[in-house]
């Protein structure tokens, strides 16, 4: 785009100063290397002004808290342009998520004696201190996610997408029984049982996580600001081409998105090509303990619909505040659901 365009390319990013979620260093590096006209905006924890509007624009329960920075980014971008490009789809098509690597390690991990896993390794991992840091910078959080995923996939090889609440937690929270046969993720994964475990995960992500989370989030948040966001990597020809590629073109050893990294040589800084995956997340867990503490607690405890067990909700909140566990995503789901229910079912 920079090479062929007649005007200087505009680029936009947001930052979270002083947190492990901040990527401003990398956006600055990319913009400087490419010579773009770059606009960056720091984001603080104040979401009280946008939360109700954001929920209304989704019109349904939506559990991904990265909708918050997406709202802010689209809001800022629309002040300057009417159409923007995103890189959505690259991870699902070309093997970018670290859990694809973890799935390979899990195949080896499962070869260990079950007693060693259940009585030694997993209790040790679960005893590690909880943190609200971004998981990519926390070895303890990575290990915990790995252990949880290993257990989930051993119980059901089709449960390839991470779950915020386990079936047992759903039952405890709502009294409802999670029914595997009604889970659309399980139904999607079932189609790919003949493939290797990593390809099965990637294709299930393409059908579920990408379609129902990532693209839905960007579509709703951009349309809320009359911004058109287009995804070049999801051109049908690119998708078809990527789908025909051998897995080794995408993941080899510890190298993810191999073909994209190779193609990008010379076009973007080497430091960006070599860095590991970083998700578009916010320091919501620490915000719940500080700037958003009173706001979040009030919205958690005010749930007149009676669907959630109040004692269980209070327990989650207390464990998070005391640092016994990072319940950020679970708390966000409950807060969002309460607001959605209040708006559409009151």
Q: What is the pLDDT of residues 142-197, one digit of tens each?
A: 898 899 899 899 988 899 988 899 889 999 999 999 888 888 899 999 999 999 99
Which of 1.10.300.10, 3.30.470.20, 3.40.50.620, 3.90.800.10 would CATH assign to domain 10-94+207-274?
Answer: 3.40.50.620
Q: Is residue 19 scored above 90 in pLDDT?
A: no
The reported pLDDT for the residue numbered 276 is 82
Highest-pLDDT range among 14-23, 105-114, 137-146: 105-114
Give the 3-state secondary structure of the chain: CCCCCCCCCEEEEEECCCCCCCCHHHHHHHHHHHCCEEEEEECCCCCCCCHHHHHHHHCCCCCCCCHHHHHHHHHHHHCCCCEEECCCCHHHHHCCCHHHHHHHHHHHHCCCCHHHHHHHHHHHHHCCCCCCCCHHHCHHHHHHHHHHHHHHHHHCCCCCCCCCCCHHHHHHHHCCCCCHHHCHHHHHHHCCCCCCHHHHHHHHHHHCHHHHHHHHHHHHHHHCCCCEEECHHHCHHHHHHHHHCCHHHCCECCECCHHHHHHCECCECHHHHHCCCCCCCCCHHHHCCCCCHHHHHHHHHCCCCCCCCHHHHHHHHHHHHHCCCCCHHHHHHHHHHHHHHHHHHC
Q: Is residue 126 scored above 70 in pLDDT?
A: yes
> What is the location of CATH 3.40.50.620 in the chain?
10-94+207-274
**For the ranges 88-92, 157-161, 294-298, 329-333, which has the lowest average pLDDT?**
157-161
The reported pLDDT for the residue numbered 335 is 96
The reported pLDDT for the residue numbered 105 is 92
pLDDT-derived band at 346, boundaries 50, 70, 90: low
The reported pLDDT for the residue numbered 139 is 82
Q: What is the pLDDT of residues 234-248, one digit of tens each?
A: 999 999 999 999 999
Q: What is the pLDDT of residues 201-210, one digit of tens each?
A: 999 999 999 9
Q: Is residue 316 scored above 90 in pLDDT?
A: yes
Q: Is residue 137 scored above 80 in pLDDT?
A: no
The reported pLDDT for the residue numbered 16 is 81
pTM: 0.90
Residue percentage of the chain with pLDDT more than 90: 67
pLDDT-derived band at 220, boundaries 50, 70, 90: very high
The reported pLDDT for the residue numbered 128 is 84
Highest-pLDDT range among 6-10, 90-94, 252-256, 270-274: 90-94
């Amino acid at each position: 785009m920079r090479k062929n365009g007649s005007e200087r390319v505009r680029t936009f990013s947001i930052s979270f100063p002083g947190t492990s979620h901040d990527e401003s260093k990398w956006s600055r590096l990319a913009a400087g290397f490419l010579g773009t006209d770059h606009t960056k905006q720091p984001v603080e924890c104040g979401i009280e002004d946008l939360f109700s509007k954001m929920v209304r624009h989704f019109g349904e329960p939506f559990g991904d808290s990265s909708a918050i920075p997406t709202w802010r980014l689209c809001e800022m971008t629309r002040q300057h342009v009417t159409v923007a490009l995103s890189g959505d789809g690259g991870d699902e098509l070309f093997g970018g998520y670290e859990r694809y690597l973890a799935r390979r390690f899990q195949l080896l991990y499962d070869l260990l004696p079950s007693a060693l896993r259940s009585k030694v390794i997993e209790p040790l991992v679960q005893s590690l201190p909880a943190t609200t840091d971004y998981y990519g910078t926390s070895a303890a959080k990575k290990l915990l996610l790995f252990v949880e995923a290993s257990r989930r996939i051993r119980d059901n090889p089709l449960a390839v997408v991470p779950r915020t609440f386990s079936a047992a937690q759903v039952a405890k929270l709502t009294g409802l029984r999670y029914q595997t046969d009604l889970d659309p993720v399980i139904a999607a994964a079932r189609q790919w049982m003949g493939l290797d475990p990593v390809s099965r995960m990637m294709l299930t992500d393409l059908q579920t996580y990408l379609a129902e989370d990532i693209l839905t989030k960007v579509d709703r948040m951009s349309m809320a600001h009359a911004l058109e966001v287009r995804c070049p990597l999801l051109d049908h020809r690119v998708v078809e081409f990527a789908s025909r590629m051998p897995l080794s073109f995408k993941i080899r050893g510890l190298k993810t998105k191999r073909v994209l990294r190779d193609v990008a040589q010379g076009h973007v800084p080497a430091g960006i090509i070599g860095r590991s995956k970083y998700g578009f997340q916010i320091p919501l867990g620490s915000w719940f303990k500080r700037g958003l503490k009173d706001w979040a607690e009030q919205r958690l405890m005010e749930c007149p619909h009676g669907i959630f067990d109040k004692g269980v909700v209070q327990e989650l909140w207390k464990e998070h505040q005391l640092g016994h566990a990072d319940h950020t995503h679970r708390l966000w789901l409950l807060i969002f659901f309460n607001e959605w229910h209040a708006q559409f079912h009151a």
